Amino acid sequence: MDFFINLILVFFTFSFVGWCIEVTLKYRQFGRFINRGFLIGPWLPIYGAGAALITLTVAGLTPVERGIGTTFAISLIVCGLIEYLASYFMEKRFHARWWDYSQKPMNLNGRVWIGNLILFGIGGVAIIHIVNPLLYLALENLSLFVREIIAGCLASIFIADYSVSHFVLKLVKIGVESSEADNTEAISKDVKLLLSDRSIFYRRFANAYPDVIYRTEKVKARMEEIRLETEKLRVEAEKRIDELNQQYEKNKAEWDASIKAGKEQLWENLEPTSFIKSNLIEKQNQLIELLYDESTAPVPAKSLMDEIEHERLRLEKRSW
């Protein structure tokens, strides 16, 4: 019984601490006080639930292992699971995503991401090895009866707070479902307009989550339509790129053949006339050697052969 009462007080203590952290962060971001959370009171149960579950899990493993590394791993897993499940069920229940880490590195479906998980692990180590011992030491100064009264009062206020806040969330759900818009920005405007005409409790919720992302069936259908259109454009782009590559290869072969022919034609046009004459004479000499036979050649042929040989020798003796 003593452990159970202390666990309840741990829950409320860290629910308040988490609320203080969120309020401070939002004050730095927006420059004004924002009462964070679904509940009216100064508590965020997701923080308290994480601290309580870490405390309960580590207490169960104390006879086996109580090292800092184990505490870090337990805190990372337990708190990450709580954050993921809270995001999932709240979205399914109220058609809205209250936080989205899709733009963060190493995220899981935009519900959790590595940065928060590491902070959860560090926070869990601080809770188990630093804060909880001091908290338990302070609670020991109170009798069990007094702790029971405090826990009972806090639990009663918490339940009442939850009941009122649940009606606010129900109104948000109705506003989301009745909206004709097909994008989260337009739905957000409709919901804020709806809440602005209500009491301060309703307006508080609109201010607490200015970046909420609404996910109605219309929004989901629109997102699926965009996804299909994007996929279609991707397929068409890949097809066009393949066609361009094929055309390039075909043109490249034609360009290579044309360049080769042009080089050959250019060489023929630029070759000196003296080279052509020399080449022609050389080939004529080869032809004569193939056709001329000294033993069978007639006298005129022998005479002509002598003249050719004479002129060739004259040509070879010239230096210009």
Q: What is the mean pLDDT of each run of 10 residues along the chain (320 residues)?
A: 91 94 86 79 90 91 78 93 89 73 89 92 93 93 93 95 78 57 43 48 52 51 71 85 86 82 70 69 74 75 76 66
Which residues fall within 8 angstroms of residue 50, CB to CB, at 6 or more apart?
14, 75, 78, 79, 82, 83, 120, 124
pLDDT given for residue 190 in this prediction? 45
pLDDT given for residue 221 in this prediction? 60
Please indicate, yes or no, if residue 222 is contained in any of the structural domains: no
Please indicate, yes or no, if residue 116 is contained in any of the structural domains: yes
d(CA 195, CA 172): 8
pLDDT given for residue 181 in this prediction? 44
pLDDT given for residue 96 in this prediction? 67
d(CA 111, CA 229): 25
d(CA 204, CA 166): 13
Domain, as residue range, for 30? 2-215
Please indicate, yes or no, if residue 60 is contained in any of the structural domains: yes
Q: Do the strands 96-97 and 107-108 form a parallel or antiparallel pair, or are they unpaired?
A: unpaired
Cα 236 from chain centroid (whole Å): 23
Please indicate, yes or no, if residue 249 is contained in any of the structural domains: no
Please indicate, yes or no, if residue 127 is contained in any of the structural domains: yes
pLDDT given for residue 244 in this prediction? 86
Please indicate, yes or no, if residue 44 is contained in any of the structural domains: yes
As for how many domains the chain has, the answer is 1
Please indicate, yes or no, if residue 15 is contained in any of the structural domains: yes
d(CA 162, CA 156): 10
Please indicate, yes or no, if residue 278 is contained in any of the structural domains: no
pLDDT given for residue 218 in this prediction? 55
d(CA 268, CA 261): 11
pTM of the predicted model as reported, rounded to 2 decimal places = 0.58
